[in-house]
Chain A
Amino acid sequence: MSGSRRRVPPGKAARRGIVAAALLAALLVAAVASGHIERASYWPNPAPDTSVSPPAGGKVPDPRSLATALLQSPPGQTRVVCQPNSLGKAASSIAHARQHGYDIRPHDHRSLGKQEARDLLQINRELYKDCEFHQIQPAVTASGNNDRVVILPGIYTEPTSRAQPTNDPACAQYKITNDKSQAGAVSYAYQFHCPNDQNLIAVLGRALGPGSDPQPPLLDRHNIPNLGRCIRCNFQIEGSGVSADDVVIDGGRVASGNGPPIGAVKDVGIRADRADGFVLRNLIVRHVNEHAIYVLEAEGFLLDRFKTYYAGEYGVLTFVGDHGLIQNCEAAGSGDAGLYPGSSAEGGEQRPPGTPFRYTQEFRLCDSHHNALGYSGTDSNSVRVDHNNFYDNALGFSTDVFTAAGHPGFPQDSDLIEHNNFYSNNFNPYLPGSDVTPTVPVPVGTGLWIAGGNNNVLRNNRFWNNWRRGSMLFAVPDAFICDNPDNQIPGCDPAETNTSYDNSFHDNVMGIAPGGAHQPNGTDFWWSSWPGTTGNCWFKNTSYRPITSVPPPPGLPNCNNGTDPSLSVGTGYGPAISELLSCLTTIDNPDPNDPNCTWFKTPPKPTP
């Protein structure tokens, strides 16, 4: 037991989970923005579904190589999508890559060998012979379990999908009332019957269930109720080009290229809904109102070698996902976050009893830049984030509990954030003329913040040239999340503070670029020191100068180099808490440019 926090051992957490996940779940109307009202969603059963062979879910799926798409042997059938000039584009791209190389992402440039180039061209030629589709959605719709869709080079606008109505009256009967008494939430059945109402491309992994969706939604959000059989599990969709650049799926203004304006026609680019074992590789998705790639209620998925540009909200949104791996990617131009794992399954402090600690999703080897936020995850638990670059955003990384009422998993806990670069997050989308329209207020010039979270480990990262701060840590008291002592968000008790405990920041390099140049952060570490919070420690972090902090030294507990977290007890640092109140409420500051809140102004560049 530490401080005022109701610490929950795994067993107890899961026992309480019935109430907890339950209630939380009950609150789980998608709090993510939507042109449609999202249904309440559930964490999938983390066990593999053995009704299909190979089993679906239970682990991150193994991708099948492009060459195997030519094999006739099972599992699965391949459907090829192409355009008349696909082969010419493939040849041109391969030739260009031979001469100049190609980019997996801005920080990963690769060369293409001679034999590799020949093989790839030959594969594309063979695939082209098998091409039967010129739009992607029909190929997806025709697919079943273990099948795959291979897309040859080209720009795909999906004219048939675009022509489908939004909020189609024909599917009005499938709208349901969610747990906030909001009529008109789009059910899984709605997606099933009107797959292109919201989505340019919909991958619906399961049939409709035999019954009806519980109304109101179940309180316990573990396991999806009324789940149908696998009809598109272990499905793989991929581009056949040299890199993601060769296959573009565009939901809006094609003439914008990979830039703005968005000019979106659809809200979602690719939706993978209940698609256990889903694999997406080697393509671009861009120009949608909300999310370029949206993975929902999926057990086991891999998103690999992809790029997203200019999504109104999120480049990638995974919600209530488990056994997910997102890697080798680029995300830019998002109005909220480039990468967003919302309510990732519980594998940490609140994991089910008797189960081992595990990371339920991993983001690695991605470059997320020029978004309002590089990464965000509300109530996103036990996510491993490693070997990424977060740069040129307003805020590089966020994990928070702000919208806890809409996300299961409160309080957020147990992320591992290591070996990442957080640098130059000084992009100011709030300035007139910005090419990104931000949908959320965050402090420009900040590498990372934990806005209410526990037991997160940040180690071996490098923070430099973030003109406001390298990192921020603050608590969001339960009383501000749930104010009724009788009716709680699971895990939330207004009499307590359940966030901002046991976070550690260690062995990070501050203010030094990889080449050794001194590029300081405005302040290295910032902490609200919420009264009574415990176990937050900063140790073995290095810089070319003394570490700078708020509260000023020695305000950050070192915890005897991390060996005794009990030495850290928050006492409240007034200026920090005042800033939060000023910037997040602005209720009594009619002008948010008031000196009390400078979040929306680009900070001056700090001098070494």
Chain B
Amino acid sequence: MSNRWATTAALAFVCALFAAGCGGSNSGAVPQAQGPDLGVPIGLADCTDWKRADVSQRLGTVRELRDFAGGPVGQEPGHGNVLDDKTAYKLFQNYCANFFARGFKLYKLYERAAAFTPPQ
């Protein structure tokens, strides 16, 4: 089994399981991630901050998290996997609707989800 074949097979396997599918386009109304953030350092922002924020602040936060988790860095930029903004927004909306998630750090949710979301 070659490396790439194995990985392709594995990804296909996951894609089959993953309801959102792989490599799909971001059709529909993708939030434009811009605007002010939540007013706290991105590493500290949690679901309580998310729920308190308005849409514009949330979109700004999604943008910040995209940079935090996967933005260009260093002299030879590298980056971690990122979520598309629509997916990230839904992730936070869904998680943060629950009381138990009130203290969840947004970056932890984001990076865990990115670690299990096939690249777009």
Contacts and interface: CB of A to CB of B under 8 A. Distances in A.
Determine if chain A interacts with chain B.
yes
Interface of A: 3-6, 22-27, 29-38, 179-182, 184, 216-217, 219, 335, 401-406, 429-432, 437-441, 452, 476-484, 487-490, 494-497, 530-532, 572, 574, 577-578, 580-581, 584-593, 600
B118 A480 contact: yes
Interface in B93-120: 94-95, 97-105, 107-109, 111-119
Nearest to B5: A4
Nearest to B90: A587
A402 B77 CA distance: 19
Interface string B47-75: 00000000000000000000111111111
Given A216-B73, A405-B70, A480-B116, A335 B103 contact: yes
Contact of B112 (A216, A402, A477): A402
Contacts of B109: 441
Interface of B: 1-7, 9-11, 13-14, 17-20, 40-44, 46, 67-82, 87, 90-91, 94-95, 97-105, 107-109, 111-119
A592 B94 contact: yes
A587 B10 contact: no
Contact of B74 (A217, A429, A577, A585): A217
A487 B112 contact: no
Nearest to B99: A432
B3 A6 contact: yes
Nearest to B108: A440
14 contacts: A33-B108, A179-B74, A219-B74, A439-B105, A479-B11, A479-B118, A483-B70, A484-B78, A488-B78, A489-B80, A532-B10, A577-B14, A578-B17, A586-B113
A586 B19 CA distance: 10
Nearest to B70: A405
A600 B115 CA distance: 20
Contact of A531 (B9, B99, B102): B9
Contacts of A531: 6, 9-10, 13
A592 B73 contact: no
B104 A483 contact: no
Given A219-B75, A430-B100, A401 B115 contact: yes
Given A216-B75, A479-B81, A577-B17, A439 B108 contact: yes
* Closest 9 pairs (CB-CB, A-B): A26-B74, A405-B80, A4-B6, A430-B100, A483-B119, A532-B6, A437-B103, A179-B73, A531-B10
Question: Chain A interface secondary structure, helix, strand, loop or mixed?
Answer: loop
B104 A440 contact: yes
B94 A590 contact: yes
A18 to B, nearest CB: 11
A484 B4 CA distance: 15
A494 B119 contact: yes
B94 A480 contact: no
B104 A439 contact: yes
Given A441-B109, A497-B6, A587-B117, 6 more contacts: A4-B6, A22-B74, A182-B42, A432-B99, A478-B7, A483-B81
Q: For B2, B14, B19, B72, which residue has the most chain A Cβ atoms within 10 angstroms?
A: B14
B43 A479 contact: no
A479 B7 contact: yes
B14 A439 contact: no
Contacts of B102: 437
Contacts of A497: 6-7, 10
A590 B97 contact: yes
Contact of B41 (A36, A440, A578, A589): A36
A178 B108 CA distance: 19
Contacts of A24: 78
A247 to B, nearest CB: 29
Given A34-B44, A585-B113, A487 B78 contact: yes
Contacts of A405: 69-70, 79-80, 111
B11 to A, nearest CB: 6
A587 B20 CA distance: 8
B68 to A, nearest CB: 6
Contacts of A487: 72, 76-79
A294 to B, nearest CB: 14
Interface core residue of B11, B43, B82, B113 (most chain A CB under 10 Å): B43
B95 A586 contact: yes
A439 B107 CA distance: 10
A480 B119 contact: yes
Given A179-B74, A438-B103, A27 B112 contact: no
A5 to B, nearest CB: 8
Nearest to B3: A4
A181 B10 contact: no
A38 B116 CA distance: 26
Nearest to A26: B74
A587 B113 contact: yes
A470 B14 CA distance: 25
A34 B6 CA distance: 38
Given A495-B4, A531-B6, A581 B74 contact: no
A321 to B, nearest CB: 20
Given A34-B41, A35-B44, A487-B78, A496 B103 contact: no
Given A441-B112, A592-B95, A26 B76 contact: yes
Contacts of A592: 94-95, 98, 101
Contact of A404 (B3, B40, B80): B80
Nearest to A569: B1
